[in-house]
Amino acid sequence: MSYQCILTDVKQGVGIITLNRPKVMNALNATLCREVGEAVDGFEANDSIGCIILTGGDQVFAAGADIKEMKDQSFPALHAKNFPYIQRDCWRAIEDARKPIIAAVAGFALGGGCEMVMACDFIIAADNAKFGQPEVSIGTMPGAGGTQRLTKAVGKAKAMEMCLTGRMMDAEEAERSGLVARIVTAEALAEQALKTAAKIASMSRPTVMLIKESVNMGVSCSLDDGLRFERRAFEATFAFEDCSEGMNAFAEKRKPVFKNR
């Protein structure tokens, strides 16, 4: 499949999506959003892939929605068709994916770009990463999860300050605040993200999917409901051949051979 605004690759059971509009800091135009959605769908449907990486360039993940493309939109058009010019809600495609998606972020992740990495399952940040919701500076506001996911990730005080002032958070503050899982050097980002994703891809896929679903449940439901869901999901893993293979392999002091069933 050839794309205009992204690159895709497959390595070690990992599907890699790279945003690729370097001249405009990977601004998210309609084509890029559609292509990210299509690439996620394609990797989801590909049985040889167990994990996905979403990444950008060395200096910028994405500087947000393409302001030049967005600037002439009107409220009636946006409202009537739920942001029609984007055509494909790639943020939704990312969060609906059942395979884990890791964001590997170097440089700016701003506006819709910050929202895109927050829709992923976790973020590995390069030491030059910067996160922000600067929409207020151009007279608008986050529209794809910025006020919601940032608040859940870093708490109300920091999210409110960032959304109201446009202040960016550097990688260290983002790690301290719980927005990113881990910081690596910019040079090591691609390798470390691939190593992490390949490790996930080597695990039992149905179990990995249940773990992802269970953690995500916990983000949006009560502790009681989350614990109940987790217990049923845990029990369900005993229906997988991979579960008995994993436990037998441990008892027999050998490496498990997971068959994703």
By CB under 6 A, name the binding residues for ligand CO8.
24-25, 27, 63-68, 83, 86, 108, 110-112, 134-135, 137-138, 143-144
If the CB atoms of residues 110 and 210 are measured against ligand CO8, the closer one turns out to be 110
- Please count the other Cβ atoms lying within 10 Å of the Cβ belonging to residue 141: 13
Catalytic residue among 35, 38, 115, 175: 115
Q: Using CA atoms, how far apart are residues 58 and 56, in angstroms rounded to an integer? A: 7
Q: Is 112 part of the annotated catalytic residue set?
A: yes
Residues 6+ apart with CB under 8 A from 222: none
The distance of closest approach from Cβ of residue 219 to ligand CO8 in the complex, given in angstroms and rounded to an integer, is 20
The distance of closest approach from Cβ of residue 135 to ligand CO8 in the complex, given in angstroms and rounded to an integer, is 5
If the CB atoms of residues 107 and 256 are measured against ligand CO8, the closer one turns out to be 107
Catalytic residue among 30, 39, 65, 126: 65
Q: Give me the residues paired with residue 9 across strands.
A: 16
Residues 6+ apart with CB under 8 A from 126: 104, 105, 106, 107, 171, 183, 184, 185, 186, 189
Q: Is 135 part of the annotated catalytic residue set?
A: yes
If the CB atoms of residues 152 and 195 are measured against ligand CO8, the closer one turns out to be 152
Catalytic residue among 135, 146, 197, 201: 135
| Residue with the CB atom nearest ligand CO8 in the bound state | 111
If the CB atoms of residues 135 and 242 are measured against ligand CO8, the closer one turns out to be 135
Q: Can you tell me whether residue 206 is helix, strand or coil?
A: helix
- Please count the other Cβ atoms lying within 10 Å of the Cβ belonging to residue 170: 16
The distance of closest approach from Cβ of residue 110 to ligand CO8 in the complex, given in angstroms and rounded to an integer, is 4
Sheet holding 169-170, edge to edge: 60-62, 108-110, 130-132, 169-170
The distance of closest approach from Cβ of residue 64 to ligand CO8 in the complex, given in angstroms and rounded to an integer, is 3
Residues belonging to the active site: 65, 112, 115, 135
